[in-house]
Amino acid sequence: MNDVHIPTGPALRTRFAPSPTGLLHLGHACSALAGWSRARSAGGRFLLRLEDIDPGRCRPEWADAAIRDLRWLGLDWDGPVRVQSAHLAEYRRTLDSLGARGLLYPCFCSRADVLAAGSAPHRAPDGAALYPGTCRRLDPGLRAARLAAGEAHALRLDMAAACRVAGPLDRIEDGQGRTRCHPERFGDVVLARKEVPASYHLCVTHDDALAGITLVTRGVDLLPATDLHRLLQALMGWPAPAYAHHPLLHGPDGRRLAKRDGAASLAALRAQGLDPREVRAMAGCR
């Protein structure tokens, strides 16, 4: 379509945003290099962000290792590394803004409650069980009493209300043009978890907007989540970046590379004596 614009030149700002839940592997190298080489060849900017809001899964030593591995690969980035766990108050303000407009509600359900609510729960595009809406329908008095008692709760987006406010949305994908978004397929997503007042979807859209990211480069596994990210951007009045989702690397077993493939970690490859150029070639990137 004629009105589709993919940023390039100095207007291109992209990023690599790993979650330090383990050592970086070849798949991460591919993703980092996809963004870095695109930014550097265009004369744009490349930023690094550590998405470490999950205290149960992220460790500071893996964050340090990520930085070490990326430097070893030969990457550089513009400005300081953004570390999400240091910015929870900023995410809280976004939640407050959505909450003040009646777009959030507290959810007291456990994971088991959600699964038990339907024998074969419908799935969101990211594979998560669709929330049946139990706490959206809670009696207001009971809800207030449970909040007053300090009961642990997540905050969920009232998806129907959010979609009404935002209206129809499109996303722009490099090489594919404009596509209509269907965030409603995610149902009432969690935007603040019980154990941490934030979530991946909230933080990623907040931080991309804050950093002025104009082209989100990341793996195609995150393509479905883009519809939800477009919704949050629209609700918050944040600009819509363009997207370039790259294919994932696969291991010898044909499955996508994941942290379970310890042998493919960049640290392991380095320890085997490979040099960064060889590893970059293995990652399928220049």
Chain positions contacting ligand GLU, by CB under 6 A: 17-19, 51, 204, 218, 222
CB of 217 to ligand GLU, least distance (A): 8
Shortest approach of ligand GLU to residue 21 CB, angstroms?
Answer: 8
Nearest to ligand GLU of 78, 278 (CB atom): 78
Q: Is 35 exposed, middle or buried (0-12, 13-18, 19+ CB in 10 A)?
A: buried
Minimum distance, C-beta of residue 115 to ligand GLU, in the bound complex (Å): 24
Query: Which residue in the block uniquely carries the two structure tokens 């330090």?
Result: 20
Buried b (16+ CB within 10 A) or exposed e, 172-193: bbbeeeebebebebbbbbbbbb
Alpha helix stretches (DSSP H) within the chain: 26-42, 60-73, 88-100, 111-116, 140-148, 159-166, 200-210, 225-236, 266-271, 276-282
Q: How many Å apart are CA 277 and CA 285, to the nearest integer?
A: 10
Closer CB to ligand GLU, residue 84 or residue 155? Answer: 84
For ligand GLU, give the closer residue by CB, 162 or 204.
204
> In terms of CB distance, is 73 or 204 closer to ligand GLU?
204
Q: In the bound complex, what is the minimum distance in angstroms from residue 223's beta carbon to ligand GLU?
A: 10
- Do 113 and 134 contact (CB within 8 A), yes or no? yes
Q: Parallel, antiparallel, or unpaired: how do β-strands 190-192 and 215-219 relate?
A: unpaired
Length of the chain: 286
Specify the residue, 18 or 106, whose C-beta has the smaller distance to ligand GLU.
18
Tell me the pairing of strands 170-173 and 82-83.
unpaired
- Cβ proximity to ligand GLU, 52 vs 188, nearer residue: 52
Minimum distance between the CB of residue 155 and ligand GLU, rounded to whole angstroms?
20
Provide the greatest CA pair distance for the chain. 64
- Nearer to ligand GLU by Cβ, of 25 and 218: the residue is 218
Long-range pairs of 138-144 with CB within 8 A, sequence gap ≥ 24:
138/105, 143/105, 143/106
Rounded CA-CA distance 217/174 in Å is 10
